[in-house]
């Protein structure tokens, strides 16, 4: 097959007035971009397009928390999947290299890339081609697959998760307690991000960094967080229900290693869901690694439905 080599204009968007242009390529997160710009999670200087004349061939965007000053994630990397006259991977690679060189601090490891995908994307030829082309463009710039994840959602139309009469629940006492439990939960973890970090950092350092980078930033009350215990007070696990910038969620759930295999995760998840519903949530989101089969099965037993998947890729520092 012979491809044209398009004369590309690669530039940032001028502002919110060009969101219609940026959103010509379909993606589930498109409706969020207006609020993201207003609330500081995206910036026009981080949102790039590759144009052939007036034709949008590709786009990308980095995302951050509204308290950040640098990109945290590359979560949009799209090409016109109907463009059969160009090398779509080459267009994506050119866009990614150009935008990264102009946007990211020199010498810094690029932010992780994630792509929301259908859970069964490998089974559909169009989805498979689309995902592979984006992954190939990232690989050509030095990125590699880190993990695939599954996204779940519980709504008020779903069955309510059943509590576990073997467990009692209480709020956390203080930061020291939850950090200690997070350290213990890292033993034997199936989480790919944590497993990768454990190769070069201590569990104590990982727990402290995870807490500071994410959980300490939650704006919802820490009184929502729950420690699961046996009747004698021995901790079994914990759950951190919260709300991010978009929806209520199960931010972190864990069973301590010595208590795994006893089915306690179902009751802990039920409690986290109950807390959010009691606070007015009509839906709850959650996610886990594709390889964490026990957690995925727990979400399903609790009435959560699979929304889709996520492909995570990373560059090595």
Domains of the chain: 9-141 (3.40.630), 168-315 (3.40.630.30)
Please answer whether residues 277 and 296 qualify as being in contact, where contact means their C-beta atoms are separated by less than 8 angstroms.
Answer: no
Average pLDDT (169-196) is 96
Q: Work out whether the CA dihedral 33, 146, 308, 120 comes out positive or negative.
A: positive
d(CA 12, CA 202): 40
How many Cβ atoms from other residues are within 10 Å of residue 46's Cβ?
A: 21
Q: Work out whether the CA dihedral 43, 48, 51, 53 comes out positive or negative.
A: positive
State yes or no: pLDDT of 5 exceeds 70: no
> Would you state the pLDDT for residue 3?
56
85: pLDDT confidence band, cut at 50, 70 and 90?
very high
DSSP string, 103-161: HSPTTSPPPEEEEEE-TTGGGSHHHHHHHHHHHHHHHHTTEEEEEEEEEEEEETTSPPP
Consecutive H or E run containing 10: strand 9-12
Mean pLDDT, the chain, integer: 95
Question: Residues with Cβ < 8 Å from 197, sequence gap 6 or more?
Answer: 206
d(CA 154, CA 44): 33
How many Cβ atoms from other residues are within 10 Å of residue 241's Cβ?
A: 29
| Phi and psi, residue 45, nearest 5° | -70, -10
Pairing of strands 73-79, 112-117: parallel
At 25-60, the pLDDT tens digits run 999 999 999 999 999 999 999 999 999 999 999 999
Average pLDDT (152-174) is 94
Please answer whether residues 121 and 309 qualify as being in contact, where contact means their C-beta atoms are separated by less than 8 angstroms.
Answer: yes
Question: Residues with Cβ < 8 Å from 1, sequence gap 6 or more?
Answer: none
The torsion region of residue 225 among left (phi > 0), alpha (psi -120 to 50) and beta comes to beta
How many Cβ atoms from other residues are within 10 Å of residue 105's Cβ?
A: 9
| Cα R_g (the chain), whole angstroms | 21
Quickly list H helices, the chain.
19-22, 33-38, 88-103, 125-140, 175-185, 192-198, 203-213, 264-278, 293-301
d(CA 245, CA 130): 28
d(CA 241, CA 257): 21
> Would you state the pLDDT for residue 200?
93
d(CA 15, CA 42): 10
> Would you state the pLDDT for residue 2?
45
d(CA 211, CA 139): 30
With tokens 């498979």, the residue in question is 128
> Would you state the pLDDT for residue 107?
87
d(CA 286, CA 289): 11
β partners of residue 150:
288, 309
Average pLDDT (235-257) is 96
β partners of residue 58:
50, 79
Greater confidence (106 vs 17) lies with 17
At 276-306, the pLDDT tens digits run 999 999 999 999 999 999 999 999 999 999 9
């Amino acid at each position: 097959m012979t491809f044209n080599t398009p004369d590309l204009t690669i530039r940032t968007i001028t502002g919110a007035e060009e969101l219609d242009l940026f959103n010509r390529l379909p993606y589930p997160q498109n409706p969020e971009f207006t609020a993201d710009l207003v609330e500081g999670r995206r910036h026009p200087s981080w949102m790039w397009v590759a144009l052939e004349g007036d034709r949008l061939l590709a786009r990308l965007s980095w995302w951050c928390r509204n308290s950040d000053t640098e990109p945290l994630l590359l979560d949009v990397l799209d090409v016109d999947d109907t463009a059969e006259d160009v090398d779509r991977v080459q267009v994506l690679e050119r866009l990614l290299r150009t935008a990264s060189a102009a946007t990211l601090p020199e010498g810094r490891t690029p932010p992780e890339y994630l792509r929301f995908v259908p859970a069964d994307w490998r089974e559909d030829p169009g989805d498979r081609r689309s995902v592979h082309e984006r992954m190939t463009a990232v690989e050509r710039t030095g990125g590699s697959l880190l993990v695939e994840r599954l996204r779940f959602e519980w709504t008020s139309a779903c069955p309510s998760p059943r509590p576990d009469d073997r467990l009692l629940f209480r709020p956390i006492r203080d930061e020291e307690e939850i950090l200690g439990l997070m350290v213990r939960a890292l033993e034997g973890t199936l989480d790919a991000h944590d497993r990768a970090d454990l190769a070069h950092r201590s569990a104590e350092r990982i727990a402290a960094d995870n807490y500071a980078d994410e959980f300490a930033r939650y704006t919802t009350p820490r009184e929502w967080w729950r420690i699961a215990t046996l009747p004698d007070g021995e901790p079994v696990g914990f759950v951190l229900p919260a709300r991010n910038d978009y929806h209520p969620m199960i931010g972190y759930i864990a069973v301590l290693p010595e208590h795994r295999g006893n089915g306690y995760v179902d009751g802990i998840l039920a409690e986290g869901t109950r807390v959010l519903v009691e606070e007015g949530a009509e839906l709850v989101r959650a996610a886990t690694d594709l390889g964490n089969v026990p957690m995925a099965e727990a979400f399903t037993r609790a009435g959560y439905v699979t929304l889709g998947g996520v492909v995570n890729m990373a560059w090595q520092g």
